[in-house]
Homo-oligomer: A and B are copies of this chain.
Amino acid sequence: MSTAKPVFRYPVPELKDLPDDVREKILAVQEKAGFVPNVFIALARRPDEFRAFFAYHDALMLKEGGSLSKADREMIVTATSAKNGCLYCVVAHGALLRIYAKNPLVADQVAINHYKADITPRQRAMLDFAIKVCLGSASVGDADYEALRAHGFDDEDIWDIAAITAFFGMSNRIANATSMRPNDEFYLMGRLPR
């Protein structure tokens, strides 16, 4: 798990010293992605938090059903993480957004200015709501729910949007507070035609 650039400002554990379940999850993601995203290495030094973090992540991002596509979910993460100035999440989830959306441009667009992005009115409404949850959740209320229902989102979808925004708001703050670096591999992912 050595790397030329630091994973984050804390020391990182040796793979062999990790609990089996944590190590296995890391090896599985490495197998699938070809590298280990730094968030796995960073959180592994606290196995209980690692387990809860990824359990929550998977419950929200790998959820079956609902009307949010995988690309929609990553779009929420990319747009709101940019509002929080989280380099790790914008770069890592922007990569996933490009891949799921099969669109090499959309991640940069929603990260910088979702009003100018090539997205549908439905996605625009989804991001308007997510950004409100991100920056001013205190005043979320009936009118926000109505605005989303007008685009075909049901209340479970709305929960999903809010919860994804909230979860990554947590992730953004942990990454920022610990100076977590996005792996270099993420920057180019999904930018080239396949």
- Tell me the A residues contacting B by CB distance below 8 Å: 5, 9-10, 46, 48-49, 51-53, 55-56, 58-60, 82, 84-87, 90-91, 104-105, 108-109, 111-113, 115-118, 133-134, 137-141, 145, 155, 158-159, 162-163, 165-167, 169-174, 176-179, 181, 184, 187-188, 191-192
Supposing A86-B113, A138-B85, A178-B162 touch, asked if A10 and B59 sit within 8 A by C-beta, the answer is no
Known: A155-B10, A159-B178. A113 touches B133 (CB 8 A): no
Q: Distance in Å from the Cβ of A2 to the closest Cβ of chain B?
A: 18
CB closest chain-B residue, reference A82: B112
The answer to whether A173 and B137 have CB atoms under 8 Å apart is yes
Find the B residue at minimum CB distance from A145. B9
Q: Are A137 and B85 closer than 8 Å at their CB atoms? A: yes
Distance, CA A133 to CA B172, complexed state (A): 10
